[in-house]
Amino acid sequence: MNHFYQKSFLKEIDFNAAELNYLIDFAIHLKQLKQKNIPHPYLQGKNIALLFEKSSTRTRSAFTVAAIDLGAHPEFLGKNDIQFGTKESVVDTAKILGGMFDGIEFRGFKQQTVETLAQASGVPVWNGLTDEWHPTQMIADFMTLKEHFGKLKGLTLTYVGDGRNNVANSLLVTGAILGVNIHIGAPTDLQPSKKVVQAAQQAAGKSGAEILITADPQQAVAGADALYTDVWVSMGEKVDYHQRIEQLLAYQINSELVAATHKQDTVILHCLPAFHDTNTSIGRKFMADYNLTALEITDEVFQSTNSLVFQEGANRMPAIKAIMAATLGNLFIPEIFK
């Protein structure tokens, strides 16, 4: 009996610690199978729709490669390629796609869209990022921590920067479920919403995770096993970039902030893409106004030996593979979830 069969993966709070830990361990297992060239075609003959309203490098690539490794056929449907949302409603699109495809990935703006796709399509739907949550990223991130530290419970992860975005929300809730202490360092205006904090506190009550939300970046990072940041302006946000830079400059991950952990071995995570140097057009444009060479993380820290960012990026593929195989594959999964 497969506990996950035909379930959608829309947000972390729909899952408990045993379920998330299972997906993390399954991802580690699938990564090893791939490294040993052992075939794992759990989704032979399945067809998968990849629906993108926003752009992507990692998520799109990970879903494509994972689907092919699992024996499935992925089909990319960009927002300009199909009628979605302009000439055809989300519900009608969901019914049509659900009639042809066995599973649907969605990346876009509203969380409600991915929830509606799941309700109306009748097939598993996977959230590849919305304005609110980035759940497939979480399986890769906590998998990376588990590979590095050999455990999750009791670790402390500090996120600094925009504390209201999808990645911050997801880290807060996922850490709370898994028993990983989460510290958020963000200015008051950019701290997580009450709704997200309440969900995290409820989960933390069960797991024993400690939650700290503070405007003081030094306090936030003290004792952290992992430091995490994300872009200061997320896709689709209509905010003044200059204002954001001024709000968040004190939260940049640089060597001083790393030293403020008072630990030698703190690892560095970032979901990517990152503005760590002037080699991007957006980065260059705004950095020049402030005489900066990086935004949310300096190149020195980004490239340092404790940085796991590219291991984390590569882990998106087995993480997504685990999520798709568990929810769509007819495989044996022990009943450990009650």
The option from ligand CP, ligand NVA, none interacting with 230 (CB < 5 to 8 A, set by class) reads ligand NVA
Residue 230 annotated as lining a ligand binding site? yes
Cα–Cα distance for residue pair 299/307, rounded to 1 Å: 11
Q: Closer CB to ligand NVA, residue 98 or residue 108?
A: 108
Binding-site partner at residue 64 among ligand NVA, ligand CP, none, CB < 5 to 8 Å by type: none
Question: Active-site residue 60, yes or no?
Answer: no
Residue type, 322: A
Reply yes or no on whether 252 is catalytic.
no
CB 220 within 8 A of CB 185: yes
For ligand NVA, which residue of 271, 320, 323, 326 counts as binding (CB under 6 A)? 271
User: Contact at 8 Å (CB) between 70 and 323?
Assistant: no
> In Å, how far are 4, 304, 305 from 335, measured between CA atoms?
10, 41, 39
What does the binding site for ligand CP look like in residue numbers (CB under 6 A)? 56-59, 129, 137, 271-272
The nearer residue to ligand NVA, 152 or 231, going by C-beta atoms, is 231
Q: Which of 166, 174, 247, 266 is the binder for ligand NVA (CB under 6 A)? A: 166
Question: Distance between CA 12 and CA 135 in Å, rounded?
Answer: 6
Contacts of 8 (CB under 8 A, 6+ apart): 118, 124, 125, 126, 327
Measured in degrees and rounded to the nearest 5, phi and psi for residue 103 equal -160, 155
Taking the least distance from each CB to ligand NVA, the nearer of 27 and 129 is 129
Alpha carbon distance 227, 256 (integer Å): 13
Q: Any contact of residue 144 with ligand NVA (CB under 6 A)?
A: no
Query: Rounded to 5, what percent of the chain is helix, strand, coil?
Result: 45, 15, 40
Nearest residue to the partner ligand NVA, using Cβ: 234
281: annotated binding-site residue? no
| Number of chain residues interacting with ligand NVA (CB under 6 A) | 9
Annotated ligand binding at 107? The verdict is: yes
Tell me the residue ranges of DSSP E strands in 186-308: 211-214, 226-229, 267-270
59 labelled ligand-binding: yes
CB of 18 to ligand NVA, least distance (A): 27
Query: Is 164 among the residues known to form the active site?
Result: no
Single-letter amino acid, residue 188: T
Using the structure block, give the residue that is written with the tokens 């402030």: 290
Q: Is 130 annotated as a binding residue?
A: no
Distance separating alpha carbons of residues 8 and 27, to the nearest angstrom: 17
Catalytic residue, chosen from 60, 134, 270, 276, is 134
Residues recognised as catalytic: 107, 134, 137, 230, 271, 316
Q: Which residues are annotated as a binding site?
A: 56-59, 83, 107, 134-137, 166, 230, 234-235, 271-272, 316
Q: Which residues are annotated as a binding site for carbamoyl phosphate?
A: 56-59, 83, 107, 134-137, 271-272, 316
Chain contacts with ligand NVA (rule: CB under 6 A): 129, 165-167, 230-231, 234-235, 271
